[in-house]
Amino acid sequence: MEAFVFFASAAIVLTGAVGVLTSRNPVHAALFLVQTLFGVAVLFVLQDATFLAAVQVIVYAGAVVILFLFVIMLLGVDRAENLGVEPIVGQRPLAAVIGASLMGMLLTLLLVATDGPTGAPGRTAPLGDAGDNTRRLGEALFTGHVFAVELTALLLTVAVVGAVVLARTVKGPMQPLPVVVVATSTEPADADAGPDTAADEESEEAGDA
Amino acid sequence: MVVTTSWYLALGAVLFSIGAVGLLTRRNPLVMFMCVELMLNAVNLTFVSLGAELGDLGGQLSVFFVLVVAAAEVVVGLGIIVAIMRRRQGATADDLSVLGG
């Protein structure tokens, strides 16, 4: 039974991951990501990590993916992307080689070279059974790791403030990103820089105000 | 048939590799972020599996903190993407080479 659940979840996880990799539309990629996250949640339940499975579904599949979808819809980038173009020559073969060698090395190390994972069990925080999981996790977090919990609270606050600062609307006209031009000649750079720099300073002042 | 910890670790390795390939090949910054999430989930799976193998709660505690950091990372990253996309519609990761100066 455990083997059946494992292999079914593994198939769900891997098809979802490949779907993220190959789908042309970002919305479809986000939905495939939900599939993978649910599969990982099932694997957490299978290993008696019930609290983390619930958090995985609520935080990841709930909040994070909804945030992704929200940004996709807000920016209107839900058009299908043309995956046929390959701007950097040889990027995909090279990435495939890197990924395959990474996977090969990890699997060799895991399945062939050793007799499986080794290590000493911890003495401070024993793993209870599944029913006890949430209580034990809470006790360990708020006694032994309370300083780390406070630090993550600070991190979340900083992230919220940073997101608000990044996404606020700037008064005045927005300066578009400059178009990338590869320099082909050695003409003086400040020949036509007069109006551009004036516009730059203007928009920066508007941004500061 | 007994599912050993090595199976979980192997699944995590495959998932991590798929995420890495996606991060190297895709050019839409949103999809690149999703691939980072895949890699983080692979590591989370590894943490939980080793914690279950060793009977230690530390693996699950680590996953808890990884979750928090991943949420903060997504918030800041999506804020940056929104700020960039407002200035140029449909910007890809290649367009950000202007940040190199």
3-state secondary structure of B56: strand
**pLDDT (mean) for A178-195:** 52
A residues 89-148 lying closer than 8 A (beta carbon) to B: 91-92, 94-96, 98-100, 102-103, 106-107, 110-111, 116-117, 119-122, 125-128, 133, 136-137, 140-141, 145, 148
B36-62 burial, b if ≥16 CB within 10 A, otherwise e?
bbbbbbbbbbbbbbbbbbbebbbbbbb
Neighbouring-strand partners of residue B56:
A126
Nearest to A81 by CA among B99, B80, B25, B2: B25
- Which of chain B's residues have a Cβ under 8 Å away from the Cβ of A178? 98
As for the ipTM of the complex, it is: 0.91
Share of chain A above pLDDT 90, in %: 31
Q: For chain B, say whether A51 makes contact (Cβ under 8 Å).
A: yes
Residue B45 near residue A56, CB atoms below 8 Å: no
Q: For chain B, say whether A3 makes contact (Cβ under 8 Å).
A: yes
Domains of chain A: which residue ranges?
1-81, 129-171
Number of residue pairs across A and B with CB atoms under 8 Å?
Answer: 250
On the CB side of A67, CA atoms within 13 Å amount to: 24
pTM over 0.90: no
**pLDDT (mean) for B21-45:** 91
Residue type, A17: A
Averaging pLDDT over each range in A76-85, A166-175, B84-93, which range is the top one?
B84-93
Neighbouring-strand partners of residue A126:
B56
Q: According to CATH, what is the number of the domain A1-81? A: 1.20.120.1200
A3-7, A20-24, A123-127, A150-154: segment of lowest average pLDDT: A123-127
**pLDDT (mean) for B68-75:** 90
Query: How close A3 gets to chain B, by Cα (Å)?
Result: 6
Provide the pLDDT for residue B54. Answer: 84
Query: Residue A188: pLDDT above 70?
Result: no
In this prediction, residue A174 has a pLDDT band, given cuts at 50, 70 and 90, of low
**pLDDT (mean) for B32-42:** 93
| Domains of chain B, each with CATH number or no CATH | 5-95 (1.10.287.3510)
Tens of pLDDT, residues A122-142: 666 677 676 788 888 888 889
